Amino acid sequence: MQKTSDKILHAALTLMQDKGFQAVSIKEIAQQADVSEMTVFRHFKTKMGVFESAVEKFSYIPYFEEIFSNQIVWDLEKDLTLIAKSYFDSMNKNRAIFLIAIQERSDFPELNHVIVKNTMQLKNLIIAYFTSMQEKNQMKETNAEAQAIIFLTTLYGYFSSTSLWKDHFLHEWEESFLTNTIQLFCEALKK
């Protein structure tokens, strides 16, 4: 059986990813977790305490460098697939925090760092990868940074739209979206 504090944190994140931090009351969290309000306060002192514990527990720091140093095979299609999947993987694990960060961006701008830092790091790795691929003569000589930004923006666009608007938006399944996107980039960039 689940520990009480875990139940509370899970309930809090579940509610906050839909409504944000300040729009969710302790009462709601307690109901969702099936405990009394007092139990929540006893475990976490304040509402902010619940939130901070939840972020700490559920935020995920991806290790893109390892992936890059171990699994890159210098084949554009395979490598872009790997990169894209790693990105989706890390963003999916941080989905709740991503959604809360959006909603509370004016009150807790620090939260953005979790998301922004990951993305910037990946961006730099992709730039380095593209540069290497150009040196290996496997990619056309275009602006590596610009291509990296476009690639990441596309991935971000997919993740963001499916997270925020559920399937009511452009709805294509992740797998097929990914295949088509990578094919497009390969078509444009491969030498």
By the criterion CB under 8 A, which residues form the site for a second copy? 18-20, 22-23, 102-103, 105-107, 112, 115-116, 119-120, 123, 140, 143, 146-147, 149-150, 152-158, 160-161, 164-165, 168-170, 172, 176-177, 180-181, 184-185, 187-189
Tell whether residue 11 is a contact of DNA (CB under 7 A). no
- Residue placing its CB nearer to a second copy in the complex, 33 or 100: 100
- What DSSP assignment string belongs to 119-158? HHHHHHHHHHHHHHHHHTT-B----HHHHHHHHHHHHHHH
177: nearest Cα among 100, 85, 105 = 85
189 lines the binding site for DNA (CB under 7 A): no
Q: How many CB atoms neighbour CB 62 within 10 A?
A: 17
| H helix and E strand count, the chain | 10, 0
Dihedral over alpha carbons 90, 94, 95, 96 (to 10 degrees): 170
Q: Which residue from 18, 128, 30 is spatially nearest to 83, judged by alpha carbons?
A: 128
Question: Considering beta carbons, is residue 39 or 174 the nearer one to a second copy?
Answer: 174
Q: How far is the CB of 10 from DNA (least distance, A)?
A: 14
Q: Which residue's CB is nearer to DNA, number 96 or number 122? A: 96
Stretch that binds DNA, among 35-43, 65-73, 130-138, 170-178 (CB under 7 A): 35-43
Residues that bind DNA (CB under 7 A): 4, 22, 24-27, 34-39, 41-43, 45-48
